[in-house]
Amino acid sequence: MQVSDSIVERADVSLPDFLVQHSLSAEYRERIAELQPRKMMSPPAEVAMIAGIIEYLKPDLCLEIGTFFGKTALAMAEAVARNGKGKLITIDPFGADRVPDIMKGWPAEVRAAAEFRPDYSMQFFSTLEAKVVRGGITPLGVVFVDGNHAFEYALFDIMAAAANIVPGGAVITDNLEQEGPKLAVIEFLKMNPAWQFFYEGKIWQSSEITARDLRPAKGVGVIWGVLIAPNAVQVTAKGYKARGKTKTNTVFRGVRLNICFVSESMEVTLNFLSISRPHDFHIKGEGAVTQRRDFTFRLRAESGPIEIPFDPPVTLNVSRQDVNFTHQLEIALLQSGHVLLDAQEPYRLL
Ligand SMILES: C[S@@+](CC[C@H](N)C(=O)[O-])C[C@H]1O[C@@H](n2cnc3c(N)ncnc32)[C@H](O)[C@@H]1O
């Protein structure tokens, strides 16, 4: 998977620092006061923070899962419009009869910054995935998860958002006072040790947060938090899978993993698969050629970038015009821990 530029590197302070500083600022309090009269579904403090994050990160693409009456979508689209770049996609499978009409009432420049799709989140992410496999990039920078609040759906939405977000991006999670989203956030953080969480004005490391911490204080109806992506590509128990078009070499002699952090000494497996398929493969199902290389090796806490030679090298007949060449790289950890790869270039085929 190719990733677009890390967004946090473009900003002056890191996203965690921004969130803490912004939550204490006069600008944030003013934004909350402006939003208060809109009678929104989500708390004004949350919506004001989402708008602040969009203006801070200036992402190419923002996503809202669950539009409903478009109250938060409006504030997100306003922030995108203020940036003068980027786009908001807001999705809701049950919104086709109301959302387009609601959006017609928005100011033209705000409407131009937003697109509504009557999609289930799974449909949305499957389409995005297909685009990535075809060699595109995944430019999601800010995602607001506020769709189906059952645990299974909330966990899917958070995991899929995280899998498609640029390094340094943000996933805002709503309704953590409800069991589904609360457990989804806790399970997500357990599985993603390099992520951080902004909640109640402070930054929590992934291992710190428990269900006890996510109990609403007296008088608080809705609780929310911001999952903060590491500024690197994280490899955990879930493994790492990258897919892409093969554009250059005719011979792959190996792969370099651009490792920037290893949490502890661990055994890992790496599987490289080169696939060539005739253009009509999807019709005839014939003529595919795959070449596979498998490795098991140990990484140590101090490991940096490493090169893994392919023996024999993988040779492609790229002179054939009627064939698509793609490759797939999978890394799996055989024990606990995590590895971080460089955000700009996680690996390079040699
Ligand atoms: C709590 S409301 C969203 C409120 C809105 N985000 C706001 O802040 O104004 C939840 C919405 O999620 C939508 N929804 C339910 N399941 C969904 C799914 N699988 N994918 C996307 N949206 C979904 C519902 O139709 C509903 O309109």
Residue 199 pairs with which residues in a beta bridge? 202
pLDDT at 2: 39
DSSP state of 212: G
CB neighbours of residue 176 within 10 Å: 25
* CB proximity list for 142: less than 8 A, separation 6 or greater: 50, 53, 54, 57, 59, 62, 63, 76, 169, 170, 171, 172
pLDDT digits (tens, 9 = 90+) for 89-98: 999 999 999 9
Where is pLDDT greater, at 209 or 137?
A: 209
Residue 123: both structure tokens together: 């449909």
Residue 249 confidence (pLDDT) above 90 = no
**Claim: this prediction has a pTM higher than 0.85:** yes
Instruction: Choose which residue among 63, 65, 103, 177 to substitute to test ligand 1 binding: the one with the highest number of ligand atoms within 8 A of its C-beta.
Output: 65
The structure tokens listed for 261 are 């952090």
What would the pLDDT profile of 191-241 be if each residue is shown by its tens digit?
A: 999 999 999 999 999 999 999 999 888 887 899 999 999 999 999 999 999
- The pair phi, psi for residue 303, each rounded to 5°, is -60, 140
* pLDDT tens per residue across span 153-177: 999 999 999 999 999 999 999 999 9
Distance from the CA of 163 to the center of ligand 1, in angstroms?
20
Confidence of residue 115 (pLDDT cuts 50, 70, 90): very high
Ranked by mean pLDDT, the top range of 3-7, 52-56, 124-128, 215-219 is 52-56
- Check residue 134 and give its pLDDT: 58
> What's the CA-to-centroid distance between 52 and ligand 1, angstroms?
22
pLDDT at 5 over 60: no
d(CA 35, CA 44): 6
Q: Which mutation among 63, 94, 128, 152 tests ligand 1's pocket best, with the greatest number of atoms within 8 A of CB?
A: 94
Strand 339-341: give its sheet, edge to edge: 233-235, 339-341, 259-262
Give kind and range of the element (H or E) at residue 163: helix 151-163
Q: Which residue ranges make up each domain of the chain?
A: 2-231, 235-349
Structure tokens at 342: 């460089």
* CA 214 to ligand 1 centroid distance, Å: 22
Closest CA to 273 of 250, 243, 308: 243
The whole-number pLDDT of residue 21 equals: 96
Architecture of domain 235-349: Sandwich (2.60)
Percent of the chain with pLDDT over 90: 83
The helix-helix angle for 44-57 and 15-23 (nearest 10°) equals: 140
Question: Average pLDDT of 41-62?
Answer: 96
Indicate the top mutation candidate among 88, 125, 145, 148 to test ligand 1's pocket, ranked by most ligand atoms within 8 A of CB: 148
Would you say residue 319 has pLDDT above 90?
A: no
Question: In which element (H, E) is residue 76 found?
Answer: helix 71-83
With respect to CATH, is domain 2-231 assigned 3.40.50.150? yes
* Structure token pair of residue 304: 């940096």
Q: Decide: 308 and 255 in contact? Cβ < 8 Å.
A: yes
Please say whether the beta carbons of 150 and 33 come within 8 A: no
Work out the pLDDT band at 3, boundaries 50, 70, 90.
very low
Q: Which of 163, 158, 162 is nearest to 132 (CA)?
A: 163
Query: Residue 8 pLDDT > 90, yes or no?
Result: no
Is the predicted pLDDT of residue 66 greater than 80, yes or no? Answer: yes
Mean pLDDT of all residues in the chain? 92
In angstroms, the Cα distances linking 260 to 197, 283, 343 are 22, 43, 9
Helix 71-83 × helix 44-57 angle, to 10°: 30
d(CA 160, CA 201): 26
Q: Provide the residue type at 308 as one letter.
A: I
Among candidate residues 237, 241, 242, 243, the one with its CA nearest the CA of residue 267: 237
Binding-site residues, ligand 1, Cβ < 6 A: 40-42, 64-66, 68, 71-72, 91-94, 120-121, 146-148, 153
Angle, vertex CA 262, rays to CA 272 and CA 313, nearest 5: 20
Q: State the DSSP H helix or E strand holding residue 82, giving kind and residue range, or none if neither.
A: helix 71-83
179-191 vs 151-163: helix crossing angle, rounded to 10: 40
